[in-house]
Amino acid sequence: MLTPTTVALALMFQSGAGLAYNEALVRADRYKTDLAAQAWRDDKMDPFLKPKTTALLARCYSGEHRRRMSFSLIVSFEKGKLDRVDSNDDSAVAACIADAFAEYRWPQPPYDDFAEKFNFELAPD
């Protein structure tokens, strides 16, 4: 018999593109062409993330993890603060990058309920 606690735990630990990812994707898509969101990407997010990229890949995409892979992460904000990072992939690389993204102190988003989708296309050199 499923109890509300069991259902909550199952939702919390689901892998792949689950309910949270799909909800976050709807929010990210809402801001895809928004002018204020684009200004945030150009002026705040890109300068914030670019210097972190080399260390992030060294941490998460090395050794046996170096294979061709494609996945997306969505960073969601609530009340202007980081709320969660969701992935459409349950690989160790996606989980590692999602964990790193969750540790970052992101710049103030353009909207309180903002979400941004990041697409990763990784391949060994």
**10 inside domain:** no
Burial class (CB in 10 A: 0-12, 13-18, 19+), 122: middle
Query: pTM of this prediction?
Result: 0.81
pLDDT in tens, 67-98: 999 999 999 999 999 999 999 999 999 999 99
**70 inside domain:** yes
Has residue 1 got a pLDDT over 60? Answer: no
**7 inside domain:** no
**96 inside domain:** yes
Structural contact between residues 96 and 57, judged by C-beta atoms closer than 8 angstroms:
no
Structural contact between residues 120 and 68, judged by C-beta atoms closer than 8 angstroms:
no
**8 inside domain:** no
For 23-33, what is the mean pLDDT?
Answer: 94
**85 inside domain:** yes
**77 inside domain:** yes
Q: What is the pLDDT of residue 19?
A: 58
Domain span at residue 67 reads: 15-122
**116 inside domain:** yes
Q: Domain total for the chain? A: 1
